[in-house]
């Protein structure tokens, strides 16, 4: 019986990875510069190219920042998994073809659907908006009676509180918009 893993080689797999992650040529995964030079090959995987970025001087290779780096499955298994996904094989069928555990294949196909380059989480601006809301409320802190008073016969303290409220309102409206 022919084993499909013996029919493909690492050189082709790495070429596929390069095509997928760098369709317009090699770019630095740190600063996205295309000013990179080749820096020899990996010690254990001779087909795995190393690079040096001329802009930020970071070293990286074909698999840096991909889901394949540091994974226990060989690259050819990942690429075959990707190939079978393209043929619409189920996780169960892929597991059989690659002689793998179905749970492992499930994990691999989930990761592959997210893309082969590891995504960095982006910060959201939600906390800032909440901070504005807190600021708005803080204008009345310690003066609960002033909230209900709109002008009227207030003492010196009361008038000052109303001026503060009027002054703070447009500013809050602008910052939240």
Count, residues near Zn ion per rule CB under 5 A: 8
**Bridge partners (DSSP) listed for residue 111:** none
Does 55 contact Zn ion by CB under 5 A? yes
30, 65, 109, 168: which one contacts Zn ion (CB under 5 A)? 30
Question: Residue 72 CB: number of other CB atoms within 10 A?
Answer: 6
By C-beta, is 28 or 94 nearer to Zn ion?
A: 28
Does 65 contact Zn ion by CB under 5 A? no
Residues 93-122: x/- map of binding to Zn ion (CB under 5 A)? ------------------------------
Q: Which helix (H) or strand (E) holds 41?
A: strand 36-41
* Torsional class of 8: left (φ above 0), alpha (ψ -120 to 50), beta (otherwise): beta
Candidates 52, 76, 71, 48; CA nearest to 118 is 71
Does 56 contact Zn ion by CB under 5 A? yes
Does 33 contact Zn ion by CB under 5 A? yes
Measured from the CB of residue 67, what is the shortest distance to Zn ion in angstroms? 21
By C-beta, is 9 or 57 nearer to Zn ion?
A: 57
Measured from the CB of residue 59, what is the shortest distance to Zn ion in angstroms? 10
Sign of the CA dihedral 110, 78, 75, 77? positive
Residues 6+ apart with CB under 8 A from 75: 10, 13, 14, 17, 63, 68
Residue with tokens 């600021």: 135
Residue with tokens 């800032």: 128
4, 11, 12, 31: which one contacts Zn ion (CB under 5 A)? 31
By C-beta, is 32 or 157 nearer to Zn ion?
A: 32
Does 11 contact Zn ion by CB under 5 A? no
Contact footprint for Zn ion (CB under 5 A)? 28, 30-31, 33, 53, 55-56, 58
């Amino acid at each position: 019986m022919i084993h499909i893993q013996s029919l493909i080689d690492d050189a082709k797999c790495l070429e596929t990875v390069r095509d997928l992650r760098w369709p317009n040529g090699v770019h630095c995964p740190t600063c996205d510069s295309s000013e990179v030079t080749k820096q020899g090959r990996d010690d254990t995987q001779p087909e795995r190219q190393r690079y040096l970025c001329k802009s930020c001087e970071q070293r990286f290779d074909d698999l840096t920042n991909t889901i394949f780096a540091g994974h226990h499955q060989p690259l050819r298994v990942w690429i075959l998994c990707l190939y079978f996904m393209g043929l619409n094989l189920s996780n169960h069928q892929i597991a059989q073809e690659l002689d793998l555990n179905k749970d492992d294949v499930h994990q691999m196909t989930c990761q592959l659907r997210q893309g082969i380059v590891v995504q960095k989480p982006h910060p959201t601006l939600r906390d800032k908006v909440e901070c504005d809301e807190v600021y708005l409320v803080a204008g009345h802190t310690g003066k609960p009676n002033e909230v209900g008073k709109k002008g009227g016969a207030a003492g010196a303290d009361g008038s000052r509180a109303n001026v503060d409220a009027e002054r703070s309102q447009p500013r809050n409206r602008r910052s939240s918009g």
